[in-house]
Amino acid sequence: MYPIFFDPTMIILIPAIIFSLYAQLKVQSTFERYSRVASSSGLTGAEVAERLLRKEGIYDVRIERTPNTLGDHYDPRSKVLRLSPGVYNSTSLAALGVAAHEAGHAIQHDVGYFPLELRSSLVPVAQFGSMAAFPILLIGILLGSPMLAKLGVYAFVAVVLFQLVTLPVEYNASSRAIALLQAGGFVSGQEAEHTKRVLDAAALTYLAAALAAVLSLLRLLLISRMFGGEE
């Protein structure tokens, strides 16, 4: 019925693959569009991030330029906010939105935002689950051990939890970013709308990752049952 190397359970992942492709295209097109629109403030992404942090009384977070394109992130362990060249030195609305979003993560860390703390605690478990889930499941199938196969499925649950917890963390950082940019007078009302479009597009990638994780878990469950994972 199927080609010898065809895995029918891969069909489960098709919606996630399609949505992920859409999310990536949406992010790229939206960022490129608003990276060509300069903000009225004339400030760079790095300058805006620094001012937002200082405004919130945060002085122990360093802002660094990373050479990685789209490598913008906040590292809570070292308290470093890293911005890519297209954000660090740019005065565009896209750059301000991304910089403010990452500053939002630093503010979350400073105020002890629970979902961020929960996500940080899940990192090592999720990393283990991502690497070990399928090998454990496969070994369980090869050894005819339903319990071991189930253990592989359970290991991947941590990945799903991590991706689901990521959603409120990212959406909260974006809402903080827009509010802070407007409150600080860094963007006008129309500019805030455009900046929000950039952050909304970026949020699609996190939705895509969460969908992929959930569907991957369903796929592992199906594989486990197909090969006797149900006792």
**CA 50 distance to own-chain centroid:** 22
Number of residues in the chain: 231
Cβ neighbours of 53 (radius 10 Å): 21
The full DSSP string for 126-174 is HHHHHHHHHHHHHHHHHTT-HHHHHHHHHHHHHHHHHHHHHHHHHHHHH
- Whether 102 is catalytic: yes
State how far the alpha carbon of 143 is from the alpha carbons of 90, 135, 227, in Å: 56, 12, 11
CA distance 91 to 195: 12
Half-sphere exposure of 3 (CA within 13 A, CB side): 2
In 3D, which of 4, 19, 5, 9 has the Cα closest to residue 221? 9
Q: Active-site residue among 102, 117, 170, 231?
A: 102
Q: Which residues have CB under 8 Å from 205's CB, separation 6+? A: 20, 23, 24, 27
**Residue 46: DSSP 8-state:** H
Under a CB-based contact definition with an 8 Å cutoff, are residues 218 and 136 in contact? no
- Active site amino acids: 102
